[in-house]
């Protein structure tokens, strides 16, 4: 018996906008970056208008992503502090994935997996910005010693796959968890969803 009153707000309109702007720019960054990373992916450069445009646009989209994602994520830091319960949740994650929830500690606004993703993204964002600036032609790269640029481009590539892998997990989990996508598209979740997935949060806001 779900009525309109049973909906709880999970994300405000501006949070949702920020999430999707950063999601779309992340996808463009991943595709334009992969075009440079491996010859088998070089054809992806056409997406942004060919090799030169791919090279020119990638870092600017990167800065946009950084700003929008930081604006979205930093205010959520308080809800993402990892607790003992989260570690237990993480230790039991196999059971969660098998739809078997018995004996798993209650989850607050975010579960252990979401919190790990949060910190991975935050750290990765800083590494990508710093290393990206160091290799950014023609504006900044020639100000840095060549060995630093070599390390930066490797760090950039490796961090990029780290984040791409994390985002694949994130997308899989949010599609798998029915109702999550609606939360990010419409901003609201049902009481049942909140009680089931995030009882600690439900207790606070419900």
Partner 1 sequence: MALQSLDIERRSATTVPPPGVRTPAQVAKLIDISKCIGCKACQAACLEWNDLRDEVGVCHGTYDNPTDLSAKSWTVMRFHEAQTADGRLEWHIRKDGCMHCADPGCLKACPSPGAIVQYANGIVDFHSEHCIGCGYCLMGCPFHIPRLSQEDHRAYKCTLCSDRVAVGLEPACVKSCPTGCIGFGSKEDMVHVAAGRVAELKERGFAHAGLYDPQGVGGTHVMYVLPHADQPELYSGLPKDPTISPWVQLWKGIAKPIGLAAIGLAALGGFLFYVKSGPEEVHEESEAGPGGPAGPGGAQPPTGGR
Catalytic-role residue among 170, 196, 197, 198: 170
* 160-199 positions binding ligand HEM, by CB under 6 A: 160, 163-164
Taking CB under 6 A as the criterion, the residue among 20, 37, 119, 144 binding ligand HEM is: 37
Distance from the first to the final alpha carbon of the chain: 16
196 token code pair:
């089931």
Taking CB under 8 A as the criterion, the residue among 60, 83, 106, 185 binding partner 1 is: 106
- If contact means CB under 5 to 8 A according to the sort of partner, which of partner 1, ligand HEM, none does residue 128 touch? ligand HEM
Of 170, 171, 184, 176, which is closest to residue 99 (Cα–Cα)?
176
**Under rule CB under 6 A, residue 155 binds ligand HEM:** no
Cβ neighbours around 179 below 10 Å, total: 16
Residue carrying structure tokens 């991975």? 120
Residue carrying structure tokens 């779309």? 24
18 vs 58, which CB is nearer to partner 1?
A: 58
* 89-128 positions binding ligand HEM, by CB under 6 A: 128
**Under rule CB under 8 A, residue 193 binds partner 1:** yes
Residue carrying structure tokens 């994520």? 73
**Under rule CB under 8 A, residue 46 binds partner 1:** no
- If contact means CB under 5 to 8 A according to the sort of partner, which of partner 1, ligand HEM, none does residue 93 touch? partner 1
Question: Phi and psi dihedrals of 92, rounded to 5?
Answer: -100, 15
Give the span between the Cα atoms of 108 and 118, in whole angstroms.
15
Binding-site size for ligand HEM (CB under 6 A) equals 27
67 vs 177, which CB is nearer to partner 1?
A: 177
Give the span between the Cα atoms of 174 and 177, in whole angstroms.
5
Interface region with partner 1, contact rule CB under 8 A, candidates 21-29, 74-82, 125-133, 164-172:
164-172
**Under rule CB under 6 A, residue 69 binds ligand HEM:** no
* Per-residue contact string for residues 70-89; x = within reach of partner 1 by CB under 8 A: -------------------x
56 token code pair:
């020119």
Look up 170 and say whether it is catalytic.
Answer: yes
> Is residue 52 exposed (0-12), middle (13-18) or buried (19+ Cβ within 10 Å)?
exposed
CA distances from 132 to 84, 91, 92, 147, 158 (A): 35, 35, 37, 15, 12
- If contact means CB under 5 to 8 A according to the sort of partner, which of partner 1, ligand HEM, none does residue 29 touch? ligand HEM
Catalytic residues, by residue number, are 170
């Amino acid at each position: 018996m779900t009525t309109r009153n049973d909906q709880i707000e999970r994300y405000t309109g501006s949070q949702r906008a920020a999430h999707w702007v950063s999601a779309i720019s992340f996808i463009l960054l991943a595709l334009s970056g992969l075009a440079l990373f491996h010859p088998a992916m070089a054809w992806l450069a056409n997406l942004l208008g060919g090799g030169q445009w791919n090279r020119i646009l990638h870092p600017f989209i990167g800065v946009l992503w950084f700003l929008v994602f930081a604006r979205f994520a930093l205010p959520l830091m308080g809800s993402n502090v990892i607790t003992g319960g989260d570690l237990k949740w993480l230790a039991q994650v196999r059971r969660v994935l098998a739809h078997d929830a018995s004996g798993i500690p209650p989850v607050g606004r975010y579960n252990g997996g979401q919190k790990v993703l949060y910190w991975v993204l935050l750290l990765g964002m800083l590494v990508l910005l710093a290393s990206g600036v160091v290799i950014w032609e023609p504006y900044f790269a020639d100000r840095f010693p060549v060995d630093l640029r070599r390390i930066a481009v490797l760090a950039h590539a490796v961090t990029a796959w780290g984040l791409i892998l994390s985002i694949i997990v994130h997308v899989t989990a949010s599609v798998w968890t029915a109702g999550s996508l609606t939360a990010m598209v419409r901003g609201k979740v049902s009481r049942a969803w909140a009680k089931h997935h995030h009882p600690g949060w439900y207790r606070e806001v419900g």
